[in-house]
Structure 1
Amino acid sequence: MDHPLVSIVIPAYNRPETLKIAIDSVLEQTYSNIEIIICDDSSDNSVQEMLAAYLQKYPQIKYHKNERNLFLENWHKCFDLASGEYINYLMDDDVFDKEKIAKMLYFFNEFENITLVTSYRQTIDESGQFIPPIAATTRLYEETRIMDGKMLGNIVLTRCLNFIGEPTTVLFRKKDLLERFGIYKGKQYSLINDLAAWLSLLSRGKAVYIPEALSYFRRHPNQNNNILGLKAFSEWLDIIIASREDGFLDTNELYKTALQSYELRVRGYKQFEEDRKRIKKILTTLD
């Protein structure tokens, strides 16, 4: 069996305690041909100091401290520095199951035209305890499924929920991501950059969904999505509209469902008045 190099890329920022747990979960993988790329956007040296012992012991860990805060460019830096045939982002507050990479690579090795492998992800709290899922993290299927990428994309788009998962959840081939991570149809998405990357991958192949919890998604008060709130939802309309160019939402009925789902989610919020006008205009052209 082929044992290609897998790059686990971590855009780190000011969380040395949870980063340590994340790194340990990579080092414990049953699949061994792994490199870890850490690009540190932190405002202090706490991550660098924590990593000193790891860097002496584990040559497969490669660390880069940014001279200035790169924000989204840090994600691109991680990607560019990765040497592996496969890439899996890992958020510095999330955790891998020890068999994640081995179980996901199996599908790339055994089946053709797979561009994305994802799984159920277990939500955990600050201390690592299991907590109930939120709407987007509910288990999508009870059995493993190999499915057309556009079909999975349509499920996400028509419900305005990222069932595919956060960056930690997905394994993909580096060469299959033709645009930089978070860029879709020429637009850089900052708040749903993971979904932008997933749609790009799903437009060109098949997806695998594994019902086992192969990663653990930590929810805590300082999480970006909690801080950004509704602003994190503001990019959905643009990505719904853009997705049709790639063959998603290929019937008027699916397109209407996605637009109406978005409209329902933002109903009652004044800041989305322009979006509602855009949707109304689009819907009139579909009737």
Structure 2
Amino acid sequence: MSNLPLVSIVIPTYNRPDIFRETVASADAQSYSNIEIICIDDSDSEYGASVDVDNFVHITDHPHQNYGDALNTGLDYATGEYVMILDDDDTVSEDHVQTMMDGLSNGDYEGAFANLNLVDSSGDVIGVQDIAEEIELQPPLKELLRGRQVYRTLSGFVVNRNVVESMGGFMTEIPYWIDLEFYIRFLSRHSIYVSDTRSINYRIHEKQISGTLSLEEKLEGYQTIVDRNRDTFDSFGKDYYRYCRARHYLLVALDASEKSRMAALPYLIKMLRVYPEQLINPDNWKMNAYHIYAYILSVENDNEFELRPIP
């Protein structure tokens, strides 16, 4: 019997049989010897049943859940002291779990993560995200509250299972941004070790949920996160909540402006109503107040004017 803490690798999957097999193979190839792999299979064909690796648990009796529900089901079946989440379209290097566990044992941390390789649908690296460097420059919790995906994904994240359970698990009210909301709650209480290795391969493709959200879904999702974490917003000052909401309206307006100039207008007006005083300081918005007003006037007068952030 191993003296190493058991790590339960939880893989939720839904209708991605080919990529899923790569994901499972990368989990099974870990140099860290004490793991179990738990597959929450919501697929139509239950292709996880064909997987032939050691310590593999195949769960099929919770069909077509959202992502948060699937992760909570994985927690229910996990027996490890630690849990690693691994999305069914991502992979990790063979030393990833070992590196995460080393980091957790060398400091006052309850979670561990690493830098990302950004890969395309074929698995080719098309970019990187050096999270360890980014969080040195900006406080990660404050950036998360602003809606910025500092950690981008839960895939590859290793965490003490008891800590997650004490937090009430993962959000289930909406099927997206579960990662953003979880990291906000986690960092309001605990610390994350981030390795400077790039041991997580995060796949970017057109079927990602985040790329299919409507503007209203983005607003609804962010408001849900705000409602669940209002005390954390208020811990940064009485106006930070309004600032973050207004900033989110601006981001949605930018998205809307790519499709229709008129479509951006309602979100800009909502932004101005939520936090008009912030517009005197363009450094905080990367958007100049005069630029916004000029855009609004251009829409009303049917003139060409592009809404864009200031470099």
TM-score (norm: length of structure 2): 0.74
Change (3 A) 1:13 1:216: same
Alignment of 1:154-173 (within 5 A): 154-158=142-146, 160-173=147-160
Sequence identity (%)? 21
- Greater RCO (CA < 8 Å, at least 6 residues apart): 1
SS of corresponding position for 1:168 = coil
Gaps of 5+ in 2: 257-262, 278-311
Change (3 A) 1:271 1:239: farther
Task: Pick the aligned partner of 2:205 from 194, 199, 220.
Answer: 220
Comparing 232-241 with 77-86, greater Cα deviation is found at 232-241
Tell whether the 8 Å contact from 1:144 to 1:208 is kept in structure 2 after alignment.
Answer: no
Distance 2:75 2:6 in 1: 14
Task: Pick the aligned partner of 1:106 from 102, 105, 109.
Answer: 102
Distance 1:163 1:240 in 2: 17
Tell whether the 8 Å contact from 2:120 to 2:204 is kept in structure 1 after alignment.
Answer: yes
Alignment of 1:9-24 (within 5 A): 9-24=10-25
TM-fit CA distance, 1:7: 0.5
TM-fit CA distance, 1:231: 5.4
Tell whether the 8 Å contact from 1:182 to 1:195 is kept in structure 2 after alignment.
Answer: no
Task: Pick the aligned partner of 1:96 from 72, 92, 98.
Answer: 92
SS of corresponding position for 1:132 = strand
1:127 and 2:149 aligned: no
Corresponding residue for residue 139 of structure 1 = 130
Task: Pick the aligned partner of 1:200 from 185, 198, 210.
Answer: 185
TM-fit CA distance, 1:141: 3.8
Counterpart residue type for residue 208 of structure 2: Q
Distance 1:274 1:30 in 2: 50
SS of corresponding position for 1:14 = coil
Tell whether the 8 Å contact from 1:4 to 1:85 is kept in structure 2 after alignment.
Answer: yes
Tell whether the 8 Å contact from 1:117 to 1:171 is kept in structure 2 after alignment.
Answer: yes
Tell whether the 8 Å contact from 2:9 to 2:38 is kept in structure 1 after alignment.
Answer: yes
1:258 and 2:244 aligned: yes
Q: How many residues align?
A: 268
1:181-210 deviations in whole A, cap 9, x for unaligned? 432xxx734211112222221111222222
1:69 and 2:64 aligned: yes
Tell whether the 8 Å contact from 1:7 to 1:35 is kept in structure 2 after alignment.
Answer: yes
1:211 and 2:196 aligned: yes
Corresponding residue for residue 4 of structure 1 = 5
Distance 1:194 1:143 in 2: 18
Task: Pick the aligned partner of 2:77 from 76, 81, 106.
Answer: 81
Corresponding residue for residue 43 of structure 2 = 42
SS of corresponding position for 1:188 = coil
Change (3 A) 1:278 1:242: farther
Distance 1:10 1:199 in 2: 22
Distance 1:171 1:229 in 2: 31
SS of corresponding position for 2:155 = helix
Counterpart residue type for residue 127 of structure 1: S
Distance 2:151 2:159 in 1: 13
Aligned alpha-carbon RMSD (Å): 3.3
